[in-house]
Structure 1
Amino acid sequence: MANWTNAKLCDVANLILGATLFVSPWMFGFDAGTVSTNAYITGIAIAILAIAALAAFAVWEEWLNLVVGLWALVSPWVLGFQGTTAMTVHVVIGAAVAILAAIELWMMSQIPPRLTTGR
């Protein structure tokens, strides 16, 4: 665990958040329609992107996770399920995923480029 970076911890957190969103229809009793389908698809996307980032980090994975997190955040208004438990779950998880992705992107921009020695 000593070799783990903050970015990997963010990816593990996103994996857990994606899995939580995926199982949230069963945990909180969402309807079996659009709301639960959105939770399944969005949760799977977040989890797959987190697994991909853990396997081999690439900046595009974090950008996609940011987009998917923002989708989860705004989807209650777009799909019309405001004022429900499903809305709270989507907004909280979406905001957390988007914030974690933004933090990872910020951390990557703070690392100075490596100089090559020409060997």
Structure 2
Amino acid sequence: MANGTKLSAYWQDVLNCLLGIGLFFSPWALGFAGEHFAAMNAHVIGAIIAVLAIAAILAFQDWEEWISVVLGAWLIVSPWVMSFSTVRPAMLTHVLIGIATVVLAIWSSTEHGSHLPAR
């Protein structure tokens, strides 16, 4: 499969990669770099999401998508678990990117993943 065809076939993973990169840079872009837990969470989880998305584009595996689902779920709850829910830009960034990551990863897995045979 040609690279352009592969990118268009795996558009959910391309978008998840962009979301991961956006999350990584969001503390500086949105002004919450001074919030240690929020910024560290954005850097670490954003980098992992981007790397997993690139891996899924290059050699799709269902486990990559399910790890992205778990990371997305973590992003949704992390503002309250890590006590930065009062920092609105950080909270909104984490929750919205978390929701998008979960939806895109599940969509990609159902579209490209291995499915159990019907009984």
Q: Into which bin does the TM-score normalised by the smaller protein fall? A: 0.7 to 0.9
1:87 is aligned to 91
For normalisation by structure 1, the TM-score amounts to: 0.85
Find the counterpart in structure 2 of residue 102 from structure 1: 106
Identity of aligned residues (%): 42
- Structure 2 counterpart of 1:63: 66
How far did 1:74 drift?
1.0
Amino acid in structure 1 at the alignment position of 2:20: G
Query: Structure 2: how far apart are the matches of 1:78 and 1:112?
Result: 35
User: In the comparison of the two structures, how many residue pairs are matched?
Assistant: 112
Q: Larger radius of gyration, structure 1 or 2?
A: 1
Question: Which residues in structure 2 correspond to 1:1-119 (within 5 Å)?
Answer: 1-2=4-5, 4=7, 6=9, 8-30=10-32, 31-83=34-86, 84-108=88-112
CA RMSD between the two structures: 2.0
Q: Which AA in structure 1 matches 2:27?
A: P
Gaps in structure 2 of 5+ consecutive residues = none
TM-score when normalising by structure 2: 0.85
Q: Which runs of 5+ in 1 are unaligned?
A: 114-119
Q: Structure 1 residues 102 and 76 mapped into 2: Cα distance closer, same or farther (>3 Å)?
A: same
Question: Deviations for 1:73-108, whole angstroms, at most 9, x for unmatched residues?
Answer: 111111111131100000000100000011122224
